[in-house]
Structure 1
Amino acid sequence: MTREEKSIAIEDLTAKLAEANIVYIADTSGLDADTTSNLRRACFKAGIKLEVVKNTLLEKAMEASDKEFGDLPSTLKGNSSIFISDVANAPAKIMKEFRKKSDKPYFKGAFINNEIYIGDNLLDSLAALKSKEEVIGEIIGLLQSPAQRIISALLNNAEQKGEAAE
C-alpha cells in the first residue's frame, strides 16, 4: 500500500468514525469462509457495516477524529474488524449469536455514544442493553396502561348505568 493509498484509507476511516456513534471492534480471524459470509449477511440484515481494517490505519483515524476514543486504540492488536451501527446493542447481539458455535468473533471494545467499553467480558452486558426503540416502546406501554384502565372503567360504568336504566 503506497503512502497516498494509506492517506486515503485513513481519511475514509476518519469520515466513517465521525459519522458513527456506535463502533464495535472485534477479532474475526479464524472464521471459515461460510461463517464469515453468514456474519456479513447477518450484519447487512441488521443495518450494520462490517469492515476488516488495518490496526495502524484505524489507530491513526481515531487520532484524527474529533471524538475521544480513550483506551480503545490499545485493543488494536491482531486481526481487527469494525462494526458500525445505529443501534447500540445490535453488533453485540450478532456476535453473541455467532459465538454459540465458536469463540469468534472475539469482542475487543466498543465506542457507544461517547462511552468506551473494553474487554470480552462486557459482551453479554452490551447485548442486554435496550435499544432506543425498545425503551421508547416500554415508556409508551407504561403510559398507555393507566389510561387504558381508566377508559375501561368508564366504559364498564357507562354500560352498567345503561343496563340499570332499562
Structure 2
Amino acid sequence: MKKELKDTIIVELGEKLKQYPHFYLVDLTGLNAEKTSALRAKCFKKEIKLLVVKNTLLHRALEASEINYEPLYDCLKGSTAVMFTNTANVPAKLLKEYTKEGIPALKAAYAEESFFVGADKLEELASLKSKNELIADVVALLQSPAKNVVSALQSGANTIHGVLKTLGERPE
C-alpha cells in the first residue's frame, strides 16, 4: 500500500472518530462471507458504520486524535473491525445476538467517554442507556409527582364532596 493511500485512510478514520461519539473494536475472525454480509446488513439497519481496518492505520488515527485512546492500543492485534455509532448501546445489543457463537468478539469499546476493554464488558455496554432512554426516564420521574398530586386532589375533592353531601342529607 502506498504512503499516500495510508495517509488518506488515517485521515478518514480520524474524521470518523470525530463524527461518531462511540465506537467498538471487534474481531471478525471466523465469520465467513455470508455471515459477514449479514452482519453488515444488520449494522446498516441499526445505523452502525462497520469498517475492517489495519491495526497500524487505526493506531495512527487514534494517536492523531485529540482524545487519548491509549487504553485501546493493546487491543489492536489480529483482525480488527470498527463499529462506529451515535448510540452507545446499539452495537452491544447487536453483538449480544452473536454471543452463542462467540463471533464477532468484542475487543474493546469507547462509549459515553469511557473505555471498556475485554469481551466481558459486553453486558455492561448493552445495559447502558441511550440519550433518548435517559430523557424518557427523567420525564417519567418528573411526571410521577405531578400525577400523584392531581390524583390526590381529585380523590380529595370526591371525598370532601361526599362528606358535605352526607352532612347536608343528615336530619337535624
TM value normalised by structure 1? 0.90
Shift of 1:20: 2.3
C-alpha distance in structure 2 between counterparts of 1:68 and 1:21, whole Å = 14
Partner of 2:70, secondary structure, is coil
Report percent identity of matched pairs.
42
The match for 1:110 is 109
Query: How many residues are treated as equivalent by the alignment?
Result: 165
Partner of 1:98, secondary structure, is coil
Determine if the alignment matches structure 1 residue 58 to structure 2 residue 51: no
Question: Match for 2:141: what amino acid?
Answer: L
Question: Is the radius of gyration larger for structure 1 or structure 2?
Answer: 2
5 Å-filtered alignment, 1:67-106, equals: 67-100=67-100, 102-106=101-105
The runs of 5 or more residues in structure 1 that have no matched partner are: none
The runs of 5 or more residues in structure 2 that have no matched partner are: none
Deviations 1:26-80 (A, max 9, x none): 0012112232222112211221111111111101111111111022021111110
Deviations 1:65-123 (A, max 9, x none): 111102202111111000111111111111111223x1111111111233211111111
Residue pair 1:14, 1:62 contacting (<8 A) in 2 also:
yes
The match for 1:3 is 3
TM value normalised by structure 2? 0.87
Question: Match for 1:61: what amino acid?
Answer: A
Q: Which moved more, 1:150-159 or 1:123-132?
A: 150-159
> How big is the alpha-carbon RMSD for the aligned residues of Structure 1 and Structure 2?
1.8
Shift of 1:160: 4.7
Partner of 2:97, secondary structure, is helix
C-alpha distance in structure 2 between counterparts of 1:138 and 1:72, whole Å = 32
C-alpha distance in structure 2 between counterparts of 1:138 and 1:71, whole Å = 32
Question: Match for 2:37: what amino acid?
Answer: S
C-alpha distance in structure 2 between counterparts of 1:114 and 1:87, whole Å = 12
Determine if the alignment matches structure 1 residue 123 to structure 2 residue 111: no
The match for 2:49 is 49
The match for 2:35 is 35
